[in-house]
Structure 1
Amino acid sequence: MDFHYNTCPPGSVMLDAAKLNSNPLHDDCPFLFIIGAHRAGTTSLYQYLSRHSDFRGIRLDKGPLAGDTYHFTTGRYRRLSWERYKSFFPTSVLSGEKSINMFITCEAPRWLFESCGRSTKVIILLRNPIKRYISAMDKKTSQEILAQLFTDRQWYSKLKQETKMNYQNIPSTCLNLYNQLNTNNLYYGIYSIHLANWLCNFPPENLLVVNSEEFNRSTSDILQQVLEFVRLVPFTQHKLDIVVNVTYNYQQKRYHTDNLMRDAINNLDEFYRSYNRQLFDMLLWNSSLVDWPV
């Protein structure tokens, strides 16, 4: 990664030696957190890992809600006791959580570091923000998507003006208005802001960023890479074939492209391009290999 910590706002964990070296509140934290963009494959990855003999997922029968406790999100943190939170997880094997809301919750990385310190790993899945935006508008027509996009852009511009922040130049500033923004589909896809907030407040060596499209194309390779990152024994080839091809197939939905949908795609392309460029610079991603607008 290539991240400039001088862009972090005052009070960030990575700028405060006392916070960075303090003892965590708990020594029995979940082993792993899988977070990232909505519709980016977080549920699939969680299901895959849950087939490992040394890792057991929770709520696996809940479909898209598998693995999610919402503990480290606005409105829940500190309201649920740690004892109650830990009761979700098995004690006999390693376990972890899957949450898409943690990625965009400004306080989440600080809360996680405060609770767990360096004892847990975080995997972040990121999908092309244009495809993610449209996928999140499940069952809406192209006309409805375009109308919602117009509303989202107006709302986001208004919030930027009200907070007097220039997010083109300050990518590490997380917009701490989650209750207002959790219905704004555009904000989810501004990955440079959310990732920078995590880098400012959580040790980078404990973070792994995975490109969702690559995960979809090369599931076996990415899964083995994830196992290496979390220091679990790799699957045998036989086990890997069973897990990837039988357990849970991650499929990105296709959408019909008419003139209105093309207008929406072009509008989203224009909106996300500069933010994607910031993200690619942070992650040292090659734009010729990752097919996103930059």
Structure 2
Amino acid sequence: MNTPKHPPVSFWIIGAQKSGTTSIYRYLEQHPGVEMAKVKELHYFTQDRFYNQGEKYLNGFFENNDSAKIRGAAYVHMLTDEKCPERVFSYNPETKLIVVLREPVSRAYSAYQYAIRNSWENPEISFLDTMKLEENRMNGNFTERHELTYFYHGLYHLHLSNWLKYFPRKNILIINQDLLEKMPVEAMKNIFQFLSVDDSVSIDTTIRFNTAGVSKFSFINRIINNPDNPFTKLISNIIPFKLKLFLRTRLFPFIYKLNTVEKKYPPLTGGERKIVGKYFENDLDLLARDFGIKFIL
């Protein structure tokens, strides 16, 4: 029996974290000409243990072939992962990339609060104090490198430049989160045009995703959301792929929702914003110069 040929993934939403990528993923799911991967955060290119399994692993997150649809996937930490551009280019040099950018100080603080909610971050460590831990965390385990480096993630010019070593500018669409929040229909129309799919399709953009909140029981999130947890690693290595897919797409999101209470976190003070803003000044100047994107801190 011949193995069916799978169409390649045509595009990826690669970041930035806490900038509205979940909304874009969910809106794209509504388009009849697009097939999104069954899970939103697909770690294929960022983790060797998945990448080394080859394209069969990646194809497992999609249904049977449908030539009428283009395939898309997402993982917010691809933007900052240095090995991803080369791997994606090797997989499909025609890949289109969607990047959502948010004012970096607010994005970093949102990521910090999100890490506390998911029990990755110690709530006793203040946001400003995490700046002192950034360098060590850059050399830490997967969770520390990807979830706890709040400031490094906001160096947008640095990360975009890394992707431009492999992909032409025309293959990268940059969306400002402000546009996505204030005019989501227009933002999605831009994305549909970029992907060369029908831009007249009507989608529901009124739904909000990943609203601010706190966990009721932190130990639950430590189990279901931490890839470095020994229990999580053990389960991942012994259970069948289809069961893992069920856990990630059905059971874990259900538990996570039950364990979360919506709650707004306290805003940064003007002094805190000024201190953190200094970190991003040079990168933002380069971002404005080379990409025409400006953020007011």
For the residues of structure 2 that align with 1:193 and 1:224, how far apart are their CA atoms?
A: 28
Alpha carbons 2:112, 2:127 under 8 Å: kept: no
Change (3 A) 1:215 1:39: same
Change (3 A) 1:264 1:79: same
Q: CA deviation at 1:264?
A: 2.0
1:87 pairs with 38, 60, 64, which one?
Answer: 60
Deviates more, 1:105-114 or 1:175-184: 175-184
CA deviations 1:122-143 (Å, max 9, x no partner) are: 10111111111111122769xx
1:137 pairs with 112, 125, 142, which one?
Answer: 112
Structure 2 residue 22 is the aligned partner of structure 1 residue 43 = yes
Alpha carbons 2:82, 2:162 under 8 Å: kept: yes
CA deviations 1:29-76 (Å, max 9, x no partner) are: 2121011111111110011011011112233xxxxxx42220010434
Structure 2 residue 260 is the aligned partner of structure 1 residue 292 = no
2:241 equivalent in structure 1: none
Gaps in structure 2 of 5+ consecutive residues? 118-122, 213-263
Structure 2 residue 167 is the aligned partner of structure 1 residue 202 = yes
Amino acid at match of 1:292: I
For the residues of structure 2 that align with 1:222 and 1:249, how far apart are their CA atoms?
A: 15
CA deviations 1:96-131 (Å, max 9, x no partner) are: 11111111110101110011111x211011111111
Structure 1 runs (4+) deviating above 6 angstroms are 175-178
Amino acid at match of 1:69: L
Structure 2 residue 98 is the aligned partner of structure 1 residue 123 = yes
1:1-294 alignment runs, 5 A limit: 28-59=7-38, 66-76=39-49, 78-90=51-63, 91-92=65-66, 93-118=69-94, 120-138=95-113, 147-153=126-132, 155-156=134-135, 179=142, 181-182=145-146, 183-236=148-201, 239-240=202-203, 243-245=204-206, 248-250=207-209, 255-257=265-267, 261-285=269-293, 287=294, 291-293=295-297
Gaps in structure 1 of 5+ consecutive residues? 1-25, 60-65, 160-174
- TM-score, length-normalised on structure 2? 0.69
- TM-score, length-normalised on structure 1? 0.70
